[in-house]
Amino acid sequence: MQHSVQAVVLAAGKSTRFRTGTSKLVKHICGQELIVYPVKMLKKLGIPITLVVGYQAGDIKKVLQERVDYPINYAEQKEQRGTGHALLASQSFWQADNILVINGDMPLMTHDVIQDLINKHNSSNAAISFVTAHCNDPSVVGFGRVIEKDGITSIVEAIDFEGSFEEDCCINAGAYLIKKSFLEGHIKKLEANKPKNEFYITDLVKLASEEKLPLVMHSAPFDKVRGVNTLRELWAAEQIKRAEIITHWMYNGVSFSVAQNVHIHLDVEIGPGTYIGSGVQILRGSKIGSHCMVAAFSKIKCSTIGDNSVIHPHTLVHDSIVEDNAAVGPFAHVHENSTVKSGAKIGNFVEVRNSVIGKFSKAPHMSYLGQTQVGENVSIGAGTVTCDHDGTKLQKTHIQDCAYIGANNALVAPLTIGKASFTAAGSTITKNVPSQALAIARERQTNKLNYAPTLRADKQNPNKDSAFIPAKKTAPERHNL
C-alpha cells in the first residue's frame, strides 16, 4: 500500500563550520544555491515541503522565492538546538503518514535515491527508514556512524565516535523517512547531548531500535550523500557536480580543450558540435547554439549565442544576444542587453553596451559603442567611440544601414548618422549626418615646409634621424607651432 509522504527540510542551522558569517545554504554550487537542490528534488517527486528556517531565514526564503516555483511552508526554529529540535519545530505541519526529513546541506542527493527509500519504506513496516553510505576514509569527518552493538542500532555522531573507520564504515546520510505515529510518540523523548546541549534527530534510530521496531537502511553511493559543512566540502561537492555537467555535455556532442578548468552552470544549454576552450565560464541562464566556438577564458552569462558563432578568447558576453554566424572578440565586452545580429563582427578590444549591431556590420578594432543602434552592413573604423553620456544622462546614437565610420571618430550623442554616409577618419561628429553625405569634422592639416630641421637638436645635421631636442628645452618652440 502506498502511504502518504511529506517532507521536512532542515535549514535553520548556523553554518558555524563554514566560518563565513553567512548561511551555507545560500552559497552556490554550479550557479545554484545549496538549499535549492533538495527543494527542486522534492518538487520533482511532487512531495509537499515544509522548510525549517532560523538563522538568516530571510535570505533563504528570498532565494527560494526567486528560484523555485513550488509552494513551501515555513516553520521557525527560534533557537538552534540541533537537528532533532529543528524537526520538532515543524510539528504543527505534520499531516502525512510518513515524514521525510532531509538535511538542507546535501546538494548531490538525487531523486532516485529518495524514491528507492520511499519504496523500501512502503514495502516494510519500518518505523524509520534512512539513507546510508559506505565510507572508510578517516579524512572524511563530520558524519554520524551507524553502529550495531548488543543488538541495538544507533547513530554515533562524529564528535563521540571512538571506533575504527575501517570497521564502522556505514555512515548516516541525513535523509530519513519516519512514520508520523512514531515521530509523534518519540520526538519529545529526545534528550540533549553534550557538549553542545543539542537534540539529535539521529537518536530516534536508537529509540526505535530499543523498542525493537523495524528499521530499514537504504545504501547510496557516498558521492550522492556528501554533506557540506565547510568551504572545503563545498568545493569538493562542486567538483563532483561540475564533472557531472561536463560529462553530460560531452555525451551531447560538446568538446572541450581542458575540461577540468571549465565552469558550466546547471541551467545552461549547449548545442552539439560546439567547442569550449580552456578556462571558459558559461554561467546562469546562458544558451550556446550548435557548432559554435567559445574560446579560452571567455565568460558568457545570462546570454544567448546563436549557431555557428565564434567567441574569441578573453571575451565577456553578459545579458546579451549574439546571433548566428557572428564573431566576437578577442578581448571584447558585450553587455547590458546588447544584440550582435547574424553575420556581424565585433573585434578585439571592443565594448558594446546596451546596443544593437545590425546584420553583417562590423566594429573590428578598439571601439566603444554605447546606447547605439547600428544598422546593417555598417563599417565602424578602429578606435571609434560613441560619446553616450552628456554629463547628466545617457544619449543614443543611430548609425543607419551601409554607413562607413572612419577610424578614430568620436560620435557625440544624441546623433544620427544617415544611410550610406561616410565620416572622415579622426572626426568628432556632433551634428546629424544626412544620408549619402561625407562628414568631415577635424582640423585641416597644415604642412609647414622645411620646418622640421628647426625642431632638431643638431641643426648642422638636419637629416639625422634620432636627434630630437629633449622636451624640456623645446617647450617654448613647440608652443609656437
Report 118-157 residues binding ligand UD1 (CB under 6 A).
142-144, 155, 157
For residues 140 and 222, give the distance between their C-alpha atoms in angstroms, rounded to a whole number.
Answer: 11
Residue from 5, 7, 8, 12 binding ligand UD1 (CB under 6 A): 12
User: 73, 80, 110, 395: which one contacts ligand UD1 (CB under 6 A)?
Assistant: 80
Q: Is residue 272 within 8 Å of residue 288, measured between CB atoms? A: no
- Report the C-alpha gap between 322 and 288 in whole angstroms: 9
* Residue 263, Cβ density class (10 Å: 0-12 exposed, 13-18 middle, ≥19 buried): middle
- Closer by beta carbon to Ca ion, 90 or else 397: 90
- Is residue 229 a contact residue for ligand UD1 (CB under 6 A)? yes
Please identify, using beta-carbon distances, which residue of 167 and 269 lies nearer to ligand UD1: 167
Q: State how far the Cα of 111 lies from the Cα of 315, in Å rounded to an integer.
A: 37
Q: What angle do CA 61, 62, 68 make, to 5 degrees?
A: 80
Q: Tell me the closest approach of the beta carbon of residue 176 to ligand UD1, in angstroms.
A: 9
The burial class, CB within 10 Å (0-12 / 13-18 / 19+), for 479 is exposed
Question: What does 296 interact with, of ligand UD1, Ca ion, none (CB < 5 to 8 A by kind)?
Answer: none
Q: Shortest CA distance to 411 belongs to which of 454, 368, 453, 375? A: 368
Q: Is 81 among the residues that bind ligand UD1 (CB under 6 A)? A: yes
Q: Name the maximum alpha-carbon separation found in the chain.
A: 112
Q: How far is the CB of 24 from Ca ion (least distance, A)?
A: 9
Q: How far is CA 340 from CA 34, 154, 222, 432, in A?
A: 35, 62, 46, 24
Among 31, 107, 174, 343, binds ligand UD1 (CB under 6 A): 174
49 lines the binding site for ligand UD1 (CB under 6 A): no
| Residue 11: CB minimum distance to Ca ion, A | 11
Output the smallest distance, CB 227 to Ca ion, in A: 4
Contact between 82 and 200 (Cβ < 8 Å): yes
Interacting residues with ligand UD1 between 94 and 113 (CB under 6 A): 103-105
Nearer to Ca ion, 10 or 270 (CB): 10
Residues facing residue 416 across a β-bridge: 398
| Cis status of the peptide bond prior to 462, with omega within 30 of 0 | no
How far out from the chain centre does Cα 443 lie? 50
168 binds, among Ca ion, ligand UD1, none (CB under 5 to 8 A by kind): none
In terms of CB distance, is 86 or 293 closer to ligand UD1? 86
Choosing from 111, 186, 365, 389, the catalytic residue is 365
- CA torsion 294→297→300→301, rounded to 10°? 160
Residue 154 touches which member of ligand UD1, Ca ion, none, C-beta under 5-8 Å by kind: none
Choice between 149 and 472, CB closer to ligand UD1: 149
As measured in angstroms, the least distance from the Cβ of 269 to Ca ion is: 32
> From the CB of 191, what's the least distance to ligand UD1, in Å?
13
Q: Are 128 and 178 in contact (CB under 8 A)?
A: yes
93-111 burial: b if 16+ Cβ within 10 Å, else e: bbeeebbbbbbbbbbbbee
Judged by CB under 6 A, which of 5, 8, 11, 127 binds ligand UD1?
Answer: 11
* Nearest distance, CB of residue 244 and ligand UD1, angstroms: 20
* Residue 237 touching ligand UD1 (CB under 6 A): no
Q: Which residues of the chain form contacts with Ca ion (CB under 5 A)?
A: 105, 227, 229
* Rg of the chain (C-alpha set): 33
Query: Which partner in Ca ion, ligand UD1, none is near 351 (CB below 5 to 8 A by kind)?
Result: none
Using the minimum distance from each CB to ligand UD1, give the nearer residue, 229 or 367. Answer: 229
**Residue 365 annotated to the active site:** yes
Q: Which of 202/325 has CB closer to ligand UD1?
A: 202
Interaction partner, residue 233 (Ca ion, ligand UD1, none; CB < 5-8 Å by kind): none
State the number of binding residues for ligand UD1 (CB under 6 A). 29
Q: Rounded distance, CA 256 to CA 276, Å? A: 5
Give the Cα separation of 105 and 376 in Å (integer): 51
Near ligand UD1 in 189-218, by CB under 6 A:
200-202
Grid cell 526529513 — which residue? 101
Instruction: Find where cell 553530460 sits.
Output: 248
Nearer to Ca ion, 229 or 397 (CB): 229
Whole-number Å distance between alpha carbons of 229 and 25: 10
Q: Which of 366, 384, 391 is nearest to 429 (CA)?
A: 384
Distance of closest approach, residue 159 Cβ to ligand UD1, in angstroms: 9
Enzyme catalytic residues: 365
Q: Which residues bind ligand UD1 (CB under 6 A)?
A: 10-13, 52, 77, 80-83, 85-86, 103-105, 142-144, 155, 157, 171-174, 200-202, 227, 229
